[in-house]
Structure 1
Amino acid sequence: DELERQKKVEEEARKKHEEEARQKKLAEEKKREEEEERLRKEKFEAERKKQEDEELKKKKLQTELAAKEETERQSIIAKKKLEEEAAKKKADEELEFVKWSAVEKEWYSYKKIIVDINTEINDVVKDNKELKSFTFKSKREIKKKMAQMSTSLAQLKKIMEDIKGILTTAFQFNEVAYKWLLNFMAKAIVNQAETEVIVNIQAANAIGILATHMMSNYTGFKDILLARIIKKCPYLVGYTCNIDTEEGRRRMGWKYLENANKWEDETAYAERMGGICGIWSVVTQVRFGPTSNVHPYPISNSWKMLARQVDTPTEKLTNAHFCVVAAWWDISASKFLMAFGRQGDKLMELIWNDWTNSVCDKRFAAAARLRLLGEEWRSTGKAPGLKPLE
């Protein structure tokens, strides 16, 4: 019994020891698990905090970048606004109410035609003996025909037919010779405007009809003639520049008198401008029959010319501006009113009244004459125009 009891005590002691060992092991495992959980939580918290810090840093960077971009955007907008305001101010100062940059561009386009004629036609003829001989012989024939111009319609028709024969022969002979003669015809028309029309305004009729006929029937002549006209009288496209330099005077069509070593006087210059405008005015108003060609340069160009004149900055206006418009009035006023009715009436009222008043302190002779023309029109109700050919 004692032995059994001893065994039982030992067994209980063993079991107790094993239980204590198991409990100790469980406690250690629990402690280890708790430590691992603590470490895991610390690591998770550290990673979370790191992520939050990175997100905050990222957001801060994005905010700073957005602020920088917004500042740059506002700076660009402000710069663009300043540039636009400066451009507008410059445009307002230089162009006034008309798109003067477009006017200058149009003037340059005609100037280029003259340059091209000199290099592609005149230089070729000059360097070719056969072409030179042919063109100069044809030129003499044309000059004879042009000298026969009168107020007779029958005579004009014969001249146009004779010139047609000369140009047809030239076209068949050589294209460069043909173009050279077209250029000569354009120069001859402008020359007669400068010499004959300023003496007798009725002379503009036959010359203008001849010019319009040729513009309508001879390819390329329209551009050549307009280039020659605008070179001598740029007012007709609304072009105006300062004349305080030699280049400025040349651009505005002033003649330099080599024999006198001086520029022509203002009266002679203004008269020439009026004469050229006379031919140009007739061209815009020549009427074509219903079965004829479309008008190559219609009266709408008169509207454009007048609008550009009245929109020219007052400080740039000269006596010549009013001389040109007065010449136009003498020839085209009646036809202009027929074409544009009430709106034409308003523009003509603006021209003779408001426009001339804008320079009353400058005492331009041509402005005074234009005002008299307007007053006569208002008092009589009759607008002037040319007599038809006989």
Structure 2
Amino acid sequence: MVRTRGLLDSPSKQLMQDLIRDLEQLKRVKEYERRSFYENLDRIDREREEVHNAAINAAAAKRDQLRREAEELLQQHLKAVEEERRRKEEAERKRRAEEEQKRREKLERERAEKERREREEAAKKEAERIAREAEKKRQAEEAERLRKAKEEEQRNRQERERLEQEKKKQVEAQLKARKEQEEKAAEQKKQQVEQTFLGETRRTPQEIAEHQRYLALHKHFKQFRKYMSLNNTWGDMRRTIKKCVGQLLTDDKAANRTPTNEIVTTLKKASTLQEPSVDIRQFIAFPPPHIASEEGRVPALLIYLLNIFSKAIIAQLAAEAGITPKCAGPLGVLAAQVFSMDAFVYKGCPMIDILLAKYHFVCPVLWGFYGSESTEMGKTALGWLRDEPGGPFVSRQVHEERMIGLGAGFAAISLRDFSRTSRQNPLPNTHFWKALSNIVNVPPEEVQDTHLTVLGAMLKFSAPRVVGFWGDLGLLALRNAIVTFPGSLPKKSRARRPTISIVPFNDLREISIFNHDCSSYSFEGIYSDDHHPPVESGREVQETKPNREQFGIQDKGYKKEPKQQW
């Protein structure tokens, strides 16, 4: 204790006490600062709390005000809706009341109208009853009077009839004889007119029967198409054939192989479907004896598709080759190729009659059947198309385009060279010669523009083949068809008639037959049956060339057209 007090009494004692006092003051300052800091924070928190509470209270008051306004607006809307509903209900009630009133008034009017009609009907029936009774009485009196008058008249009539009977019999006999004479004369005149316009007077009975047989076959094919119930596969095959026929090109033989192969493949596929089947004899105009003697069944689908193929060939010739005759070449090659294939030849008989039947119908001038273009009967005989069955005929331009295509197509089919193939020619060149003969041997006064149109189309691109098949006699035929035949027509009609021309080739420039007078030669016989290959049942037996020296013509040499390669 004494020591401690001594230490405190030391010089540092005062310093220690100062330090202690300063430390205590510093603690009180820090305590004061801390308390002041927290008091300041508490004050700020209270102020902010008051501001926040004031804002919350203001928002709550605003919300309460909006809610009250919304409730008032809702009440007003509900009141308006209720008033509108009441108004509509009142209007609906009034409308129903008015409708009910109108219905009642209508029923009342109908009831009154019905009662009025019933009264009128009853009065009418009563008046009719009275009138019938009066009429019966009058009729009875009239009948009695008529009976007496009739008896008197009958006695007088019998007397007159007895006197007039013999005279009447004589008059009737005279009238009957005169009527029979008039009917006979009219029938003879009608037959004469029909024969004159149809050109049948120039044809033999055998040729007429052959033409009628092909027309009947064409009609039979129309009926046959109706009986073929096609499924989707058969419809696709039909569309494939029509599409491929339309895809043939004029000068591109390589490109034509694709549609040709597709058509052949489709037809061969049809030939494998043995059922349903049909008798082949009904689709051949003149079946050979070995076919006509027994029934031969072939796939009906094959016949149907060959008919579709022939129809497509005819349509394409009439449409495209009529404008560009050169397009007939590929179509002719295709038709000859298809109908010459062994798969489509039945026991050595090609089915070309399917195509010929259509040709007989659309272009009869090729077989010598024609008529006057100034009459409907004549146009029908010429194969002039109508816009629709029983409708007006197509224009002359459309008809001439069709005939150009068909004439060029017939030449393209019938002038094919089969000398380098083992296949049978389905349409030998004798058919071309015969068609040429049928046209150029028409009397000049009966020649129609259709004859010249078809003739020009047949010869335009066929001259090299005509010369290649028949030599100098073919040249004579060309000169007669191009020079002599048109020159023999009446002069007054030459200006409006179609012209006949051919594409020039070396033979015509080198051989002088086209440059000098041939009047000393007789051209009447060069189209006769003695100067073209013989035929048997419509099929060629052997192709032979006429004697070149028959007309005293020296052969200066000519180039044959290259053989057609299949």
TM-score interval, normalised by the smaller of the two chains: 0.5 to 0.7
Q: Which residue of 2 aligns with 1:160?
A: 260
Q: Which residue of 1 aligns with 2:227?
A: 124
AA aligned opposite 1:182: L
Q: Which residues of 2 match residues 123-202 of structure 1 at below 5 A?
A: 123-125=226-228, 128=229, 131-150=230-249, 151-173=251-273, 174=275, 175-202=299-326
Distance 1:166 1:115 in 2: 25
Q: Which residue of 2 aligns with 1:203?
A: 327
Unaligned runs of 5+ in 2: 1-191, 276-298, 515-559
Q: Which residue of 2 aligns with 1:16?
A: none
- Structure having the larger proportion of residues in helix: 1
Q: Which residue of 2 aligns with 1:325?
A: 455
Distance 1:184 1:305 in 2: 25
Q: Which residue of 1 aligns with 2:556?
A: none
Q: Which residues of 2 match residues 1-390 of structure 1 at below 5 A?
A: 99-119=203-223, 121-125=224-228, 128=229, 131-150=230-249, 151-173=251-273, 174=275, 175-217=299-341, 218-219=344-345, 221-243=351-373, 245-258=375-388, 261-359=391-489, 360-363=491-494, 365-367=496-498, 369-370=499-500, 373=502, 380-381=509-510
Distance 2:270 2:340 in 1: 18
AA aligned opposite 1:123: K
Q: 1:322: Cα distance to partner?
A: 0.6
Distance 1:157 1:225 in 2: 21
Q: 1:162: Cα distance to partner?
A: 1.1
AA aligned opposite 2:393: W
Contact 1:326/1:366 (CA < 8 Å) preserved in 2?
A: no
> SS of the residue aligned with 1:263?
coil
Distance 2:425 2:389 in 1: 42
Distance 1:96 1:253 in 2: 15
Q: Which has the larger radius of gyration?
A: 2
1:8-40: CA deviation from partner (whole Å, max 9, x where unpaired): xxxxxxxxxxxxxxxxxxxxxxxxxxxxxxxxx
Distance 1:328 1:236 in 2: 10
AA aligned opposite 1:197: A
Distance 1:286 1:225 in 2: 16
Which piece of structure 1 moves more, 161-170 or 317-326?
161-170
Unaligned runs of 5+ in 1: 1-89
Change (3 A) 1:377 1:198: farther
Distance 1:345 1:112 in 2: 37
TM-score when scaled to structure 2?
A: 0.47
1:98-150: CA deviation from partner (whole Å, max 9, x where unpaired): 5444433332121011122233x21311xx3xx35443221111222223211
Distance 1:327 1:315 in 2: 21
Change (3 A) 1:141 1:379: closer
Distance 1:355 1:187 in 2: 32
- Deviating beyond 4 angstroms after TM superposition, the runs of 4 or more aligned structure 1 residues are 93-98, 364-367, 372-379, 385-389
1:162-188: CA deviation from partner (whole Å, max 9, x where unpaired): 112211222223422221111110010
Which piece of structure 1 moves more, 314-323 or 169-178?
169-178
TM-score when scaled to structure 1?
A: 0.66
Q: 1:314: Cα distance to partner?
A: 2.3
1:331-387: CA deviation from partner (whole Å, max 9, x where unpaired): 2111101211222222222222221022232125554x21x559999973489x999
Contact 1:149/1:206 (CA < 8 Å) preserved in 2?
A: yes
* Total equivalences in the alignment: 291
Distance 1:99 1:257 in 2: 30
AA aligned opposite 1:215: F
Q: 1:97: Cα distance to partner?
A: 10
Contact 1:319/1:364 (CA < 8 Å) preserved in 2?
A: no
Distance 2:495 2:311 in 1: 30
